Structure 1
Amino acid sequence: MNPTLIELLSPARDAEHGIAAINTGADAVYIGAPKFGARSAAGNSIAEIEKLCIHAHRFHAKVYAALNTILFDDELAEAERMIHAIYNAGADALIVQDMGILEMDLPPIQLHASTQAHNFDVRRIKFLQDIGFSRAIIARELSLEQIREIKSQISFGLEAFVHGALCVSFSGQCYMSAFHGHRSGNRGECAQPCRLNYDIMGQNNRIVDSGVNALSIRDMNRSAHLAEMIAAGVTSFKIEGRLKDMNYVRNITSYYRRKLDEIIDANEKLGRVALGRCTPDFEPDPEKSFNRGFTEYFLHGRTEKISAHTSKSLGKRLGQVSESGWNFIKIAGAPEISNGDGLCWFDQNGALKGFAVQTTDHGKIYSDNAIDVTQGTVIYRNLDTVFNHRIAAAGPARRIPVNIVFSETESGVDLNISTEDGKYSLIRNFQTEKNIARDAVKAADTIKTQLCKTGSTFYDVVGFELKWGSPLFFPIGELNRIRREAFEAFDQLLNSEYHREENTVVVNDVPYFENEAGFALNVSNALAEQFYKRHGVVKISPAFELADDNRGKNLMTTKLCLRYEYNCCPVFQKADADREPQFLILGNNKFRLDYDCKSCVMKISDAGSYD
């Protein structure tokens, strides 16, 4: 029985970031298409995608191209040409949201349903499988129980986010940015209104809280629950961050690579997607990369508060202030602090404050400016300069373990290179002069030393065997030539053994599970409308972005519940009408909060202007 292959999927802002992700343990990377990606600032040329594919495929790792915005009619032809170019560049799959793409003349590339397609309902996910998708990227809000239920009804792959920044809304269902700033998240242009400061209004127009990050939630970290997610049916584990920096990609990828390797090594029913093992030159620590604090995000239901109370990075908790002066603090039990480190804390009003370390002296940490922080305040480090320098200086961590056998033949020697599991093997014969060695031990050591010198390659020799009739001497230059040519041939073998999985979408008329669709189905072009009509949807509203008047509409559905965050949830806490958040105020805009306790979600809709 073939093992279940477990994939670690990392973000790639560009080819350079993608190569770094592969080199630190990613089995696959996702990268933005030249246009029409959900991160408009992270588009890449076809040449960049091809460059990344060449590097990834040498390790049998995969590249997925994100073309996951909704499209307008005048963009359809360009998008279709782009899809063919992406396929020809070597991409393994296309991540899409717009169902109009399935009406195009597509190359035989696998399709992954973007989380922007709102893959929350099991009926929706089963429909995606039935119409030809190879994988669904499931909604972040799904619990383990819901994931198990979905997996019991489908056979294609499930991909789930495990780490990184969270959209507070169900993906593909947020219209706040389009409404407030005319920048649509479904068009890759989200202005992140969820990270702004709001006033919260309760009964009788009373302000419950003011100037707070009401919609800014903590970042996801499910590293403690990977085995549970595998058991539930997830096979691809996705790290968010196509706009994050290189150190974030290396650190977080390395961290999850180690976690997944521990699980895979302990379970013979699991296997790896890509070749190689990774040993980074630093100790991965997700708390030392950008984060707003962490949450498992409803994996086990509503078990925690998820508000971050800031839009900025907190970093790693260091300890509490034990002593403070006008421009210094001391932190009880703190690790070593370096000049240039960034420290931060929440002040008495709940605002995040901080400073850059100028110098340290006998445990005192100095700022250039006056700081107001009291004893007992918790301090975080959101910039660790030593750690960042260590990551930046680290070399590629991915190495392919191989065994080599050096054998004497009648006319020369053979060098046999094979992967550790024996799956890939090559024997290269070399015609070379053989001379009897004067010192057998020294000759054997020289052969082993020279043939195992793989520092400039991606290989590690973990097993060496020497077979000869009598001790032989070979010049070092000749041994180096044999090693170089043999490993070049082995490179070519591994490249030739990589075969892209392909899929041809066959048009069908499998019925959609609803025959009427509101604007939240995000139908923004004629092909998408044609698609849904063929699948039995008889009434289709145009996408939010096409409507002339969106006043009063629902702008967001979210698992964030402000009643719960403010300790007045009637289900999990004690109802308190006096403190219940009922509206959000942003400038002169007013948004109504509605609580659907049966579905355990909060809805935010336009409530007109606020005077």
Structure 2
Amino acid sequence: MKKVELLAPAGDYEALTSAVNAGCDAVYLGGKNFGARAYATNFDYDDLKSAVEFCHLRDVKVYVTVNTLVANEEFEKLVNYLDFLYSIGVDAVIVQDMGVLKFLRENYPDLKVHASTQMTVHNLEGVQELAEKGVSRVILSRELTLKEIKDIVQNSNIEIEVFVHGALCVSYSGQCFMSSILGGRSGNRGRCAQPCRLKYSLVDKEGKVLEKDLHLLSMADLCTIEHIPKLIEAGITSFKIEGRMKNAEYVASVVKAYREAIDSFYEGRTFDSGKAIEEMSRIFNRGFSTGYLFGVKPSKMSYLSPKNTGVAAAEVISVTSKTSKLRLLRDIAKGDGISDEKGEKGQKVEIIFKNGKKVDRAYEGDIIELPLKFYVKEGEILNKTYDVLLNDKLKNLLSKKIPIKIYAELKKDKPLYIKIQEGIHTVEVYSDEISQIAEKVSIEEDFLKDKLTQINDTAFYVEEIEVVVEKGLYMSVKGIKEARRKAIEMLEKRKLEYYRREEKHTFFSLLPFKEKKEKVSLTFYTDKVEHLKIASQLGIEYVYFNYKLDIKL
């Protein structure tokens, strides 16, 4: 069984590095134009090139979103952008526009194309149609059940990608026009204003207000981490995490959790999904559900607030004019964020009093006092909305490194020879300096190993090293380090060249618009037979008729 891909969002460079260090197999990101998250920081041309190089050196794939609907007057700019993406070696582009798909297949046949969830592909026939058009992967609509997904996987011959975590749309994937209609900002053009996250009132047909000022359309987030084994066994190619508008710590926490869940399955280890959900909730929480995966509507909505409401942290015991006495339901530290249950009022924890003394940290079960800047009542539960210690931990994940094998020889009257192997790549270099007979201190094997393994500022670490050193020889430390640097740079160049493609300058010319017909044709819709007869008598060319009516014409 091929291991499932873990695909992470990257709305900016910091989120990208966090995703890679947390263990993703691939990232998806957008440029400054043509992406469905126009309000993310995104990447300019220089950032895109750097991001691709950073990821490819660490064996992480890069998929670029080109998934808005494209206007005719934008197409020349799009072609220049596609030429750039092609040349820097992106692994795939994600598209929505069928015209863009056709252009890609005709002009970039070796560049993989993924069908965006904005295409609303929700059945086997849609997947098969796109496969025939040259799409290599389909990102399915989030409204499908696991049973439906499994059926599509088993009966199609292209890759299937499925969202496993993150924000859900209240509308069908790719079919929401609410933002466009209410605010002139189209989700299909990457500019969704998220009106579904606003407050609304529910009114019956008589005008009676049933619910007032609640976030009635705000969905809780998708979370499938408890069901990773079932999703893997369904044969899905890629698990996608939503979140290009989220910060680096959010990305790190979710990727880290799903990486552990996936690896535990393949390695036959027990995975504590409850602990993972608890940690993710400490970074961002507006409630979780399994979406539509199991054939029922999502089990939760975030009616009270669409924002991060955090996790329960303390119960208010008593309130004075200066402080509030709290019983801690979980640990709290100076620098944490705390708020009411709705997340509407809150503050940063600046001072903690325990037994009358200032402390930097207090623990579950402790009775503490906090000077609060907002009103609370006895018995009220306060939430922790920012966990300073967890955020610091996620900001300082160990950098991802790729293992290499080094073989080196130092022989009399010859330069230092270094060979490095990494996957399919092998490089060989010779030092500029020639070895000499040692006058005082000679080079020992352990000394040479130490100097050759000092590569902490690179994308690699030395997994194995073998050196052969003839006795009584000398070479300067500078000469050894320069040879090592040259070898690492050659390996980096070799890896990046493997992905890069030739520069393209694709010709594009917009076809002239057809002249409008002078004659205006009239079309007509009806569900009544008598209207059909009238339309026929009037000479109307096209009639749209409700075919579901059980009548005889």
The 3 A distance-change label for structure 1 pair 44 and 477 is closer
What's the CA shift for 1:526?
11
Deviations 1:108-163 (CA, angstroms, capped at 9, x unpaired): 32211110111212211221112111111111222221111010111111112222
Q: How does 1:97-136 map to 2 (within 5 A)?
A: 97-104=96-103, 106-108=107-109, 109-136=111-138
Query: Which residue identity is paired with 2:449?
Result: K
The 3 A distance-change label for structure 1 pair 44 and 412 is closer
Equivalent residue, structure 2, for 1:426: 427
Query: Which residue identity is paired with 1:331?
Result: R
Range 481-490 or range 248-257, more displaced: 248-257
The 3 A distance-change label for structure 1 pair 85 and 477 is closer
Deviations 1:325-353 (CA, angstroms, capped at 9, x unpaired): 144241334213214x2223436xxx854
Aligned with 1:314: secondary structure? coil
| Contact 1:451-1:483 at 8 Å conserved across structures | yes
Equivalent residue, structure 2, for 1:385: 388
After TM superposition, the runs of 4+ consecutive aligned structure 1 residues lying more than 6 A away are: 436-440
Equivalent residue, structure 1, for 2:245: 243
Aligned with 1:447: secondary structure? helix
Range 237-246 or range 166-175, more displaced: 237-246
Aligned with 1:398: secondary structure? coil
| Contact 1:13-1:243 at 8 Å conserved across structures | yes
Residue 335 (1) aligns with residue 335 (2)? no
The 3 A distance-change label for structure 1 pair 439 and 73 is closer
Equivalent residue, structure 2, for 1:292: 286
Deviations 1:266-325 (CA, angstroms, capped at 9, x unpaired): 59xxxxxxxxxxxxxxx9942232331222223223286221123443354244516231
| Contact 1:317-1:381 at 8 Å conserved across structures | yes
Residue 181 (1) aligns with residue 186 (2)? no
Equivalent residue, structure 1, for 2:353: 361
Query: Which residue identity is paired with 1:85?
Result: F
In 2, distance between residues paired with 1:526 and 1:154? Answer: 36
Deviations 1:204-251 (CA, angstroms, capped at 9, x unpaired): 443322111111111122223333222212222222222222332333
Equivalent residue, structure 1, for 2:174: 172
Identical aligned residues as a percent: 30
| Contact 1:344-1:355 at 8 Å conserved across structures | yes
Equivalent residue, structure 1, for 2:16: 18
> In structure 2, which of residues 30, 36, 40 is the aligned counterpart of residue 38 of structure 1?
36
The 3 A distance-change label for structure 1 pair 204 and 437 is farther
| Contact 2:6-2:25 at 8 Å conserved across structures | yes
Residue 308 (1) aligns with residue 302 (2)? yes
What's the CA shift for 1:180?
2.2
Equivalent residue, structure 2, for 1:72: 71
In 2, distance between residues paired with 1:470 and 1:125? Answer: 66
In 2, distance between residues paired with 1:243 and 1:74? Answer: 28
Aligned with 1:416: secondary structure? strand
What are the ranges of 5 or more consecutive residues in structure 1 without an aligned counterpart?
268-282, 502-524, 528-538, 542-611
In 2, distance between residues paired with 1:477 and 1:417? Answer: 19
The 3 A distance-change label for structure 1 pair 146 and 418 is same
Aligned with 2:141: secondary structure? coil
| Contact 1:112-1:135 at 8 Å conserved across structures | yes
In 2, distance between residues paired with 1:188 and 1:385? Answer: 32
In 2, distance between residues paired with 1:413 and 1:55? Answer: 29
In 2, distance between residues paired with 1:103 and 1:458? Answer: 37
Equivalent residue, structure 2, for 1:4: 2
Query: Which residue identity is paired with 1:18?
Result: L
In 2, distance between residues paired with 1:302 and 1:526? Answer: 48
What's the CA shift for 1:184?
1.8
Query: Which residue identity is paired with 1:388?
Result: N
| Contact 1:315-1:383 at 8 Å conserved across structures | no
Query: Which residue identity is paired with 2:368?
Result: K
In 2, distance between residues paired with 1:202 and 1:324? Answer: 41
In 2, distance between residues paired with 1:67 and 1:412? Answer: 50
Equivalent residue, structure 1, for 2:535: none
Deviations 1:178-220 (CA, angstroms, capped at 9, x unpaired): 2222222112221211111111234644332211111111112
| Contact 2:313-2:332 at 8 Å conserved across structures | no
| Contact 2:87-2:501 at 8 Å conserved across structures | no
What's the CA shift for 1:23?
4.2
In 2, distance between residues paired with 1:418 and 1:177? Answer: 53
What are the ranges of 5 or more consecutive residues in structure 2 without an aligned counterpart?
270-276, 355-366, 503-509, 513-522, 526-553
Aligned with 1:346: secondary structure? coil
| Contact 2:167-2:221 at 8 Å conserved across structures | yes
| Contact 1:115-1:138 at 8 Å conserved across structures | yes
Q: How does 1:201-240 map to 2 (within 5 A)?
A: 201-202=203-204, 204-240=206-242
In 2, distance between residues paired with 1:96 and 1:487? Answer: 36
Query: Which residue identity is paired with 1:62?
Result: K
In 1, distance between residues paired with 2:439 and 2:314? Answer: 68
Range 295-304 or range 396-405, more displaced: 295-304
The 3 A distance-change label for structure 1 pair 310 and 126 is farther
| Contact 2:285-2:311 at 8 Å conserved across structures | no
Equivalent residue, structure 2, for 1:606: none
In 2, distance between residues paired with 1:11 and 1:182? Answer: 26
| Contact 2:427-2:491 at 8 Å conserved across structures | yes
| Contact 2:328-2:368 at 8 Å conserved across structures | no
Range 167-176 or range 361-370, more displaced: 361-370
Q: How does 1:262-273 map to 2 (within 5 A)?
A: 262-265=264-267
In 1, distance between residues paired with 2:298 and 2:417? Answer: 62
Query: Which residue identity is paired with 2:209?
Result: I
Deviations 1:86-105 (CA, angstroms, capped at 9, x unpaired): 32343322211111223435
In 2, distance between residues paired with 1:79 and 1:386? Answer: 43
Equivalent residue, structure 1, for 2:274: none
Equivalent residue, structure 2, for 1:554: none
The alignment's TM-score, normalised by the length of structure 2, stands at: 0.77
Query: Which residue identity is paired with 2:19?
Result: A
What's the CA shift for 1:46?
3.0
In 1, distance between residues paired with 2:280 and 2:83? Answer: 37
| Contact 1:443-1:473 at 8 Å conserved across structures | no
What's the CA shift for 1:450?
1.6
In 2, distance between residues paired with 1:145 and 1:183? Answer: 35
The 3 A distance-change label for structure 1 pair 299 and 63 is same
Deviations 1:1-32 (CA, angstroms, capped at 9, x unpaired): xx625322222224454344334433322222
Query: Which residue identity is paired with 1:112?
Result: H
In 2, distance between residues paired with 1:338 and 1:74? Answer: 54
Tell me the matched-pair count: 481
| Contact 1:355-1:367 at 8 Å conserved across structures | no
| Contact 1:161-1:239 at 8 Å conserved across structures | yes
Question: Higher RCO, 1 or 2 (CA under 8 Å, sep at least 6)?
Answer: 1
Aligned with 2:457: secondary structure? coil
